[in-house]
Amino acid sequence: MSSIIDPRTGEALTSPDAGNDGQAQAGQSAVRPEDVIIDLNAGNIQQVLEASSQVPVLMDCRSPDAEACNQLTPILEKLALEYAGAFLLAKLDTQANPQIASQLGVQSVPDVKLISQGGLVDGFQGALPEKQVREWLNRYFPAPEDAPPSPEEQAEAALEAGDVAGARDTYQSLVSQYPDHYPYQVALARTLVAEGRRDEARNLLDNLPPEERDAPSARGVRASIEFGEQALSSEEIAALGDRTDSDAQYQRALRQVADGHYEAGLDALLTLMKQDRAYNDDAARKTLLQVFDALGADHPLTVAYRRKLFALLY
């Protein structure tokens, strides 16, 4: 990465590229913090604004005493290195520079502003989680090809691998860091359900604000709790033997869903619906809809089986 040059003085605002013994590791650029991160102050604010004609500037308007700022700034510093010079991270201590903060229109911190060609492009306020910051940056910059997974992605990978405890620990940490980011609490409740801790999951959901409590993701976790409570135990399912009546088919499907074998459960419910639509007041169709809620509207199984359900109905 080349140095960012002050257009007025011709001097570098950041240091030139550092060498890395002649080789870049795993395709990553050799970028040091001093290459892409700078502290803003009255002595360089104008130069930095003018330098935004060469490279976009991400301003982190912060206060060192604010917990939210101390959560967000390390994420921005990490991403500035990952994006390897796509933008310059300029950190402004609003307590030490109140006049600059006022001129920039900063009313609360953290306040992040993207500057290009000397003008404001976009911004956000508050300590967003890393995943949301990445999504916001990716509106304007190509995502690094070798970017490490976010904590959320790590948790989901752990769940898929069967490491429910690992996923729960990650989401518990995220809940502690971002207590007002309610999707983390819903995700934590989902891991508790997977561990069989349904009462704890329900209590967590019950304490969400009303609008979050009724959101599709929270309703989905509640549906998972209900599946676990309604389904027969594995021993009771085994006791059904070779029964093929509608009730036996439904109970097997419910057990499959409760155990997380969603595709098999959805197939069984669809089959039952074809064979005996009237069973238990249309229970198969109603349960299909509950499973869609549990999986989420964008889940591939939801998309596929909604189509199948629609084809069957119409």
75 assigned to some structural domain: yes
What's the structural domain count of the chain? 3
174 assigned to some structural domain: yes
Are 192 and 255 in the same domain? no
Q: List the CATH number of the domain containing 84.
A: 3.40.30.10
pLDDT tier for residue 24 given thresholds of 50, 70 and 90: very low
6 assigned to some structural domain: no
Final residue before a domain boundary, out of 71, 105, 137: 137
Are 182 and 258 in the same domain? no
Are 157 and 119 in the same domain? no
Residue 169 lies in domain? 151-218
Residue corresponding to tokens 């399912």: 237
Do residues 287 and 295 make contact, with C-beta atoms less than 8 angstroms apart? no
Are 60 and 114 in the same domain? yes
Question: 54-98: per-residue pLDDT in tens?
Answer: 999 999 999 999 999 999 999 999 999 999 999 999 999 999 999
71: which 2 tokens?
A: 């959560």
Are 197 and 107 in the same domain? no
Final residue before a domain boundary, out of 79, 103, 137: 137
Are 116 and 201 in the same domain? no
pTM confidence score: 0.72
Question: 281-311: per-residue pLDDT in tens?
Answer: 999 999 999 899 888 888 899 999 999 999 9
Final residue before a domain boundary, out of 173, 190, 218: 218
Q: List the CATH number of the domain containing 266.
A: 1.25.40
Task: Bin 294: left if φ > 0, else alpha if -120 < ψ < 50, else beta.
Answer: alpha
Are 158 and 235 in the same domain? no
